Amino acid sequence: MTLGRYMKSSHEMEVKGLFRNWRSWLSNDRDRLRKFVGLVNDKHRVISALTDDELQAEASELRQMVQTGGRTDRLRVKAFALVKEAVSRKLGIVMHDEQIMGAWVMADGQVAEMKTGEGKTIASLPPLFWLSLQNQVHMITVNDYLAQRDYVQADKVMAVLGTSVGWNHAALSGLQKKEVYAKEIVYGTWSEFGFDFLRDRMEYQIDRRVMPGFNYAVIDEIDSVLIDEAKTPIIIAGKSRASPDLYYLSDKLLRALTNRDYEVDEETQQVMFTEAGIRKIEAMFMIDNLFDISCVTIYHHLLQCLRARVIMQADRDYIVDKGKVQIIDAFTGRIMDGREFSDGLQQAIEMKENVPLSEETRAHASITVQKFFSLYPFISGMTGTMESDKEEMREIYGLHVFRIPTHKPVLRKDLIDRVFLTKRDKYRGLASEVSSLHERGIPVLVGTTSISQSQEIYELLRGMSLPCQILNAKTEREEAEIIGRAGRRGAITIATNMAGRGADIHLDPEVISLGGLHVLGTERHESRRIDLQLRGRSGRQGLPGASRFFISLEDDLIRRFGGEEAETVAIGWRTGEEGSSDVELVRWVDAVQERAERHMYEVRLFVYRLDCVVHKQRQWYYEYREKLFSLGNVTDELLASAKYVFAEKVAAYCPENDVFEEWQTDRLRSELGWGEPIRLSGGVTQQDVLDQIKQTWEQHWFSFQYRLVSPLWSEEWRLELMKLLDRGWLEHMESLNALKLGIHFRALEKRDPLDIYEEESFVLFQMFERQFRLEAGGKFIREVLDFCNRKLRGSA
**Crossing angle between the packed helical segments 423-439 and 451-463, to the nearest 10 degrees:** 60
- Please choose, out of 95-103, 337-345, 510-518, 671-679, the segment that lies near ligand ATP by the rule CB under 6 A: 95-103
Binds ligand ATP (CB under 6 A): choice among 97, 504, 556, 648:
504
- Residues 319, 320, 324, 326, Cα dihedral to 10°: 0
Task: Name the nearest CA neighbour of 736 among 306, 343, 435, 457.
Answer: 343
CB of 143 to ligand ATP, least distance (A): 12
Local structure of 219: helix, strand or coil:
strand
Phi and psi angles of residue 363, each rounded to the nearest 5 degrees, phi first: -70, 120
Q: Write phi, then psi, for 443 (nearest 5 degrees).
A: -70, 145
Question: Which one, 93 or 276, has the nearer CB to ligand ATP?
Answer: 93
Among 14, 58, 113, 118, binds ligand ATP (CB under 6 A): 118
Q: Which is nearer to ligand ATP, 421 or 486 (CB)?
A: 486
Query: Which segment (346-354, 499-507, 548-556, 583-591) binds ligand ATP by CB under 6 A?
Result: 499-507
Sheet holding 378-383, edge to edge: 165-167, 185-189, 137-141, 216-219, 378-383, 111-113, 401-403
- Do the annotations mark residue 118 as ligand-binding? yes
CA atoms within 13 A on the CB side of 507: 25
User: 342 or 383: whose CB is closer to ligand ATP?
Assistant: 383
Contact 76, 130 (CB under 8 A): yes
Q: How far is the CB of 188 from ligand ATP (least distance, A)?
A: 17
In the complex, residue closest to ligand ATP by CB: 119
Shortest approach of ligand ATP to residue 121 CB, angstroms?
A: 3
Binding test (CB under 6 A) with ligand ATP, winner from 76, 120, 426, 649: 120
Residues 360-389 that bind ligand ATP (CB under 6 A): 384
Considering only residues 161 through 190, tell me which ones interact with ligand ATP, judged by CB under 6 A: none
Task: Answer for the pair 508, 488: CB distance below 8 angstroms, yes or no.
Answer: yes
Q: Which stretch binds ligand ATP (CB under 6 A): 117-125, 157-165, 312-320, 756-764?
A: 117-125
Q: Nearer to ligand ATP by C-beta: 56 or 121?
A: 121
From 69-77, 93-101, 323-331, 661-669, span contacting ligand ATP (CB under 6 A): 93-101
CB 156 within 8 A of CB 83: no
Min dist CB 524 to ligand ATP, Å, is 19
- Least distance in Å: CB of 107 to ligand ATP? 18
Q: What are phi and psi of 311, to 5 degrees?
A: -105, -45
504 is in an annotated binding site: yes
* Residues 503, 537 contacting (CB under 8 angstroms): yes
Which of 28, 56, 116, 191 forms a contact with ligand ATP (CB under 6 A)?
116
Give the residue, chosen from 1, 93, 416, 763, that forms a contact with ligand ATP under the rule CB under 6 A. Answer: 93
Q: Site for ligand ATP (CB under 6 A): which residue of 102, 166, 502, 562?
A: 502
379, β-bridge pairs = 217
Q: Which is nearer to ligand ATP, 200 or 476 (CB)?
A: 476
Check the annotation: does 220 bind a ligand: no
Chain centre to alpha carbon of residue 517: 33
* Distance (Å, whole) CA 6 – CA 766: 11
The span from the first CA to the last CA of the chain, in angstroms, equals: 40
- CB of 529 vs ligand ATP, minimal distance in Å: 11
> How far, in Å, CA of 241 to CA of 357, rounded?
9
Q: Measured from the CB atom, is 225 or 431 closer to ligand ATP?
A: 225
Of 339, 491, 530, 512, the C-alpha closest to 411 is: 512
Q: Pick one of 109, 117, 344, 516: the residue that binds ligand ATP (CB under 6 A).
A: 117
121 contacts ligand ATP (rule: CB under 6 A): yes
Could you please report the per-residue DSSP string of 361-397?
EEEEEEE-HHHHHTTSSEEEEEES--GGGHHHIIIII
Nearest residue (CB) to ligand ATP, 97 versus 476: 97
Q: Are 92 and 508 in contact (CB under 8 A)?
A: no
Phi, psi of 620 (to 5 degrees): -60, -45
Residue count at the site for ligand ATP (CB under 6 A)?
A: 20
Count of CB atoms situated within 10 Å of the CB of 234: 22
Which among 246, 240, 258, 248 has a CA at the least distance from the CA of 351?
Answer: 248
Nearer to ligand ATP, 86 or 122 (CB): 122
CB nearer to ligand ATP: pick between 504 and 554: 504
State which of residues 43, 209, 501, 518 lies at the interface with ligand ATP (CB under 6 A): 501
Query: In the 8-state DSSP scheme, what is residue 692?
Result: H
Residue number, 96 or 177, with CB nearest to ligand ATP? 96
Contact pattern for ligand ATP over residues 527 through 556, marking x by CB under 6 A? ---------x---xx---------------
Q: Taking phi first (over 0 means left), then psi (-120 to 50 degrees means alpha), and beta for anything else, what does residue 221 get?
A: left
95 part of the interface to ligand ATP, by CB under 6 A = yes
Judge whether 119 is annotated as a binding position.
Answer: yes
CB of 152 to ligand ATP, least distance (A): 13
Tell whether residue 284 is a contact of ligand ATP (CB under 6 A). no
Among 47, 55, 59, 122, interactor with ligand ATP by CB under 6 A: 122
Task: Enumerate the β-bridge partners of residue 365.
Answer: 236
Residue 482 sits at the vertex; the CA angle it makes with 447 and 406, to the nearest 5 degrees, is: 60
What is the Cα–Cα distance from 462 to 456, expressed in whole angstroms? 10
Q: Cβ distance 487 to 511 under 8 Å?
A: yes
State the minimum distance, in angstroms, from the CB of residue 117 to ligand ATP: 5
Nearer to ligand ATP, 541 or 635 (CB): 541
Residues 654-713 that bind ligand ATP (CB under 6 A): none
Q: What's the closest the beta carbon of residue 114 comes to ligand ATP, in angstroms?
A: 6
Residue nearer to ligand ATP on the CB measure, 122 or 610? 122
3-state secondary structure of 603: helix
- Whether the CA torsion 426, 431, 434, 436 is positive or negative: it is negative
Binding site residue list: 99, 117-121, 504
Residues that bind ligand ATP (CB under 6 A): 93-96, 99, 114, 116-122, 384, 501-502, 504, 536, 540-541
Binding site residue list for ATP: 99, 117-121, 504
